[in-house]
Structure 1
Amino acid sequence: MIMTGIFAEQTVEVVKSAIETADGALDLYNKYLDQVIPWKTFDETIKELSRFKQEYSQEASVLVGDIKVLLMD
C-alpha cells in the first residue's frame, strides 16, 4: 500500500512537470508567432477586404470571400 502511494505521488509530480513544461513551450510558441505574424497588418488587410466587399459588385464580394478563406487557412 505504501509503495502504491509513492508511485502515485511520483506520477503526479511527473504529470505536473509535464504540464508546466507544455505551458512554457506554448508561451514561447505564442511569443514567436506574435513576432513572425504581423497581426496589425493582418487585421488591416481583413478590414480592407471587408471594405472592398461592401463597395464592389456581388462577383467581387465572392472573390474577396475566397481570398479571406485563403488567408485564414
Structure 2
Amino acid sequence: MIMTGIFAEQTVEVVKSAIETADGALDLYNKYLDQVIPWKTFDETIKELSRFKQEYSQAASVLVGDIKVL
C-alpha cells in the first residue's frame, strides 16, 4: 500500500508539472500571436465586412422590391 501511495503522489506531481508547462506554453503562444497579428487591423476589417454585409443586404431588399413592382 505504501508503494501505491508513492506512485500516486509522483503521478500527481507529474500531472501538475505538465499542466503548469502547458499553461506557460499557452501564455507564450498568446504573446506571440499578439505580436504577429495586428489585432486593431483585424478588428477594423471585421467592422468593414459587417458594414458591407449590411449595405448589400439593404440594397438587395430594394432590388427585390423593384423586381416585384415590374
TM category, shorter: 0.7 to 0.9
Matched residue pairs, number?
69
Instruction: Tell me, in whole angstroms, the C-alpha distance in 1 between the residues paired with 2:28 and 2:67.
Output: 30
Distance 1:21 1:52 in 2: 43
Q: Hey, what's the Cα distance between the residues in 2 that align with 1:52 and 1:58?
A: 10
Structure 1 residue 56: Cα displacement? 3.2
In 2, the alpha carbon distance for the partners of 1:23 and 1:44 equals 30
Answer with 50-59 or 33-42: which moved more: 50-59
Using the alignment, how far apart are the partners of 2:26 and 2:68 within structure 1? Answer: 27
CA distance in 1 between partners of 2:68 and 2:15 (Å): 40
CA distance in 1 between partners of 2:12 and 2:43 (Å): 42
Structure with bigger RCO (C-alpha 8 Å, 6+ apart): 1
* RMSD (Å) for aligned C-alpha atoms: 7.7
Cα distance per residue 1:31-57 (max 9 Å; x no partner): 100110111100100111111222236
Unaligned runs of 5+ in 1: none
Task: Classify the secondary structure of the residue corresponding to 1:57.
Answer: helix
Name the % identity: 99
Q: Which has the greater radius of gyration? A: 2
Give the TM-score normalised by the residue count of structure 2.
0.76
CA distance in 1, matches of 2:40, 2:8: 47
